[in-house]
């Protein structure tokens, strides 16, 4: 297996398939796996390292991460909070911490950032991508990937309501009379949200709130969408990506449990 020597594209693809194909087959129908592998490899090929050996030193007791919202530290001036945060980190914590975990900094509609309206933008009230990249240059950056659900105002859900691609295929609808009482979730609100669409009222799965609509990872196109987002975050300087609410990702009414073994392996 190549380690120090640069790998050819063919070798990269072979190793990628060996690692990823068995995982995909646990979740998706085997007939679609070859095409899905091709699509995934095309997204990440340029980011695959020549040395693929496991780095067991990536976490240790020497790692100290600060967790913060983008606007936890502000000043009385007109400076955007992310610039203030960057200055504070460099001036006061440069020799104290190794990394910083910035909680969701994208545009949102509720839940302190965990109802994402646009994954590819920085909330303009906080700053911009240059501010994020500046922090990532000096510290190991962790970002939140709110992966289970999106804001009801996200363009995908607006597409769902209008019956437009691709969003019309990205969500989970359930017949109104279905018994969902066995679904495990940390909320007492209704699981299903009645949503007005061009096809009439649809009952849509929403684990956390009516403004946080769950996406459907049973559709492999949703997986591809989020891989694109993660790739974008890595290119912006993220070293770690926290997958928020990952245990609720897979939905099966007949298996009312938290963290389904099949897709979580």
The residues annotated with a catalytic role in the active site are 244
Instruction: Check if the beta carbon of residue 146 is closer than 8 Å to that of residue 230.
Output: no
- Alpha carbon 176 to chain centroid distance? 29
Rounded CA gap, 205 and 186, in Å?
14
- Give the CB-side neighbour count of residue 25, counting CA atoms within 13 A: 9
Do 184 and 191 contact (CB within 8 A), yes or no?
no
Long-range contacts of residues 90-98, Cβ cutoff 8 Å, at least 24 apart:
90/138, 93/66, 94/138, 96/64, 97/64, 97/65, 97/66, 97/139, 98/62, 98/63, 98/64, 98/65, 98/139, 98/140
d(C-alpha 249, C-alpha 251), whole Å? 7
Edge-to-edge strand order for the sheet containing 238-244?
65-68, 99-102, 140-146, 238-244
The DSSP line for 101-133 is EE---S-BSSGGGTSBS-TTS--TTT--HHHHH
């Amino acid at each position: 297996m190549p380690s120090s020597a640069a790998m050819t594209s063919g070798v990269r693809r072979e190793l990628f398939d060996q690692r990823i194909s068995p995982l995909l087959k646990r979740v998706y129908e085997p007939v679609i796996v070859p095409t899905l592998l091709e699509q995934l490899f095309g997204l990440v090929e340029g980011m695959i390292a020549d040395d693929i050996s496991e780095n067991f030193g990536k976490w240790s007791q020497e790692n100290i991460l600060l967790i913060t919202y983008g606007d936890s530290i502000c000043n009385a001036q007109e400076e955007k909070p992310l610039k203030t945060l960057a200055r504070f980190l460099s001036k006061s914590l440069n020799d104290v911490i190794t990394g910083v975990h910035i909680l969701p900094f994208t545009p949102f509609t509720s839940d302190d950032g965990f109802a994402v309206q646009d994954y590819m933008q920085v909330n303009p009230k906080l700053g911009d991508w240059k501010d994020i990249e500046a922090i990532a240059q000096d510290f190991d950056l962790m970002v939140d990937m709110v992966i289970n659900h999106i804001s009801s105002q996200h363009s995908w859900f607006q597409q769902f309501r209008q019956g437009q691609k691709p969003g019309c295929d990205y969500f989970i609808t359930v017949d109104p009379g279905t018994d969902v009482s066995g679904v495990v979730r940390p909320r007492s609100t209704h699981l299903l949200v009645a949503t007005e669409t061009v096809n009439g009222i649809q009952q849509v799965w929403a684990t956390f709130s009516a403004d946080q609509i769950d996406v459907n990872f049973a559709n492999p196109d949703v997986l591809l969408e989020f891989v694109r987002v993660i790739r974008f975050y890595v290119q912006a300087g993220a070293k770690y990506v926290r997958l928020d609410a990952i245990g609720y990702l897979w939905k099966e009414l007949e298996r009312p449990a938290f963290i389904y073994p099949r897709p979580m392996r």
